[in-house]
């Protein structure tokens, strides 16, 4: 297996993706057609299930896009079952210690590099077609699967060096959750949040064998996107983009949106 996103990162190039909150494989195809490198499908905050993830993985293969999944928790069995659908990476929420990170790494890698259960007839291993060369598949999977750890609490920031040392490959800064952990809910631009973010970015740079990630943002009244030159950038999410497009269309046609009447709202 070849992970195009990981290959680009190894070459020192920036990759761009989006959060996939909707469960339609068509959205994955559209992301690939649009030129994105990857989609992070969310199983933590959505009702996505494993059959849906498997269909989305098929759609990603069609357009040469890297599909990764944010699992609901750092549970080895959950991670195993998601990996067997054939996705190319796992996003683990709320990593706070080196032990948390080591647990995720072990779940991602086969023995002797980890504890991942072995089955040669899943979609990930081409339903048994790779059995004659299963050892090669294992080596490839351990090398190509990408582990993204969400750094979204004060504890995660405090222990970032241990988290990176344990083998997390992308340290993704979740500024919204981080603001809550620091006691400034929703204030993603608060100096404490920005200071914590900078600490993570410096730790990743010093580590040298990992990449930093975040959601690029714009400050109020400014047009330029702030990326901090991170190589792993995630542009918004499918739900917000679709809602915004509909709202813009409603306004252009002289109608008020439903949210203006209290019938809905944008998170």
Please indicate whether residue 244 or residue 218 has the higher confidence score (pLDDT): 244
pLDDT single digits (tens) 77-101: 999 999 999 999 999 999 999 999 9
> By the 8 A CB rule, do 168 and 149 touch?
yes
Please indicate whether residue 70 or residue 258 has the higher confidence score (pLDDT): 70
Q: Which of 4-8, 212-216, 251-255 has the lowest mean pLDDT?
A: 251-255
Q: What is the pLDDT of residue 260?
A: 60
Half-sphere exposure of 182 (CA within 13 A, CB side): 25
Q: How far apart are CA 172 and CA 91, in angstroms?
A: 9
In the set 45, 185, 190, 261, the catalytic residue is 45
Q: What is the pLDDT of residue 141?
A: 98
> By the 8 A CB rule, do 95 and 74 touch?
yes
Q: Which of 67-71, 126-130, 219-223, 262-266 has the lowest mean pLDDT?
A: 262-266
Please list, in sequence order, all residues whose beta carbon lies within 8 angstroms of the beta carbon of residue 55, skipping any fewer than 6 positions away.
25
User: And the tokens for 89?
Assistant: 């990476």
Pairing of strands 89-92, 146-151: parallel
pTM of the model: 0.93
Q: What is the pLDDT of residue 34?
A: 98
Q: Give the sign of the dihedral formed by CA 18, CA 19, CA 24, CA 25.
A: positive
Q: What is the pLDDT of residue 233?
A: 98
| Kind and range of the H or E run holding 195 | helix 191-207
Q: What is the pLDDT of residue 264?
A: 53
DSSP 171: E
Q: If pLDDT is split at 50, 70 and 90, which confidence band does 266 have?
A: very low
Closest alpha carbon to 152 in 203, 95, 99: 95
Closest alpha carbon to 143 in 172, 110, 120: 110
Query: φ, ψ for residue 98 (rounded to 5)?
Result: -65, -30
Q: How far apart are CA 47 and CA 120, in angstroms?
A: 28
What is the CB neighbour count within 10 angstroms for residue 8?
Answer: 18
pLDDT single digits (tens) 109-158: 999 999 999 999 999 999 999 999 999 999 999 999 999 999 999 999 99
Closest alpha carbon to 93 in 44, 20, 140, 142: 44
Q: What is the pLDDT of residue 222?
A: 83
- Report the pLDDT averaged over residues 160-186: 96
pLDDT single digits (tens) 214-237: 999 888 788 889 999 999 999 999
Q: What is the pLDDT of residue 257?
A: 62
**Based on the number of CB atoms within 10 Å of its own CB, is 243 exposed (0-12), middle (13-18) or buried (19 or more)?**
middle
Q: What is the pLDDT of residue 262?
A: 59
Please list, in sequence order, all residues whose beta carbon lies within 8 angstroms of the beta carbon of residue 263, skipping any fewer than 6 positions away.
none
45 is catalytic: yes
pLDDT at position 40 over 70: yes
- Report the pLDDT averaged over residues 228-252: 96
Q: If pLDDT is split at 50, 70 and 90, which confidence band does 263 have?
A: low
> By the 8 A CB rule, do 204 and 211 touch?
yes
Residue written as token pair 């030159």: 229
| Kind and range of the H or E run holding 222 | none
> By the 8 A CB rule, do 120 and 131 touch?
yes
Residue spans per domain, the chain: 4-261
| Kind and range of the H or E run holding 66 | strand 66-70
Q: What is the pLDDT of residue 267?
A: 41
**Based on the number of CB atoms within 10 Å of its own CB, is 20 exposed (0-12), middle (13-18) or buried (19 or more)?**
buried
Q: What is the pLDDT of residue 179?
A: 95
Q: Which one is the CATH code of 4-261: 3.20.20.60, 1.10.10.60, 2.30.30.60, 3.40.50.300?
A: 3.20.20.60
pLDDT at position 243 over 70: yes
pLDDT at position 213 over 90: yes
Q: How far apart are CA 141 and CA 2, in angstroms?
A: 9
């Amino acid at each position: 297996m070849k992970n195009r996103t990981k290959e680009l990162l190894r070459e020192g190039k920036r990759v761009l993706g989006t959060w996939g909150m909707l469960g339609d494989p068509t959205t994955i195809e559209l992301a690939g057609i649009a030129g994105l490198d990857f989609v992070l499908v969310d199983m933590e905050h959505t009702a996505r299930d494993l059959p849906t993830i498997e269909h989305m993985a098929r759609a990603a293969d069609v357009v040469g896009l890297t599909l990764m999944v944010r699992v609901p928790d750092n549970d080895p069995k959950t991670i195993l079952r998601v990996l067997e659908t054939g996705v190319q990476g796992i996003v683990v929420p709320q990593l706070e210690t080196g032990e948390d990170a080591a647990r995720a790494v072990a779940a991602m890698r086969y023995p002797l590099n980890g504890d991942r259960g072995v089955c040669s007839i899943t979609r990930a291993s081409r339903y048994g077609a790779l059995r004659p060369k299963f050892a090669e598949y294992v080596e490839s999977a351990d090398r190509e699967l990408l582990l993204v750890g969400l750094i979204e609490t004060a504890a995660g920031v405090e222990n970032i060096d241990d988290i990176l040392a344990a083998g997390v490959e992308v340290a993704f800064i979740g500024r919204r959750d981080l603001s809550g952990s620091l006691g400034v809910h929703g204030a993603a631009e608060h100096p404490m949040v920005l200071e914590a973010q900078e600490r993570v970015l410096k730790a990743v740079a010093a580590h040298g064998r990992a990449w930093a990630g975040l959601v690029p943002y714009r400050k109020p009244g400014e047009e330029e996107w702030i990326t901090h030159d991170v190589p792993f950038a995630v542009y918004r999410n499918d739900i917000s983009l679709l809602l915004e497009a509909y709202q813009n269309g409603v306004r252009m046609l002289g109608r008020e949106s439903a949210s203006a009447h209290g019938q809905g709202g944008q998170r």
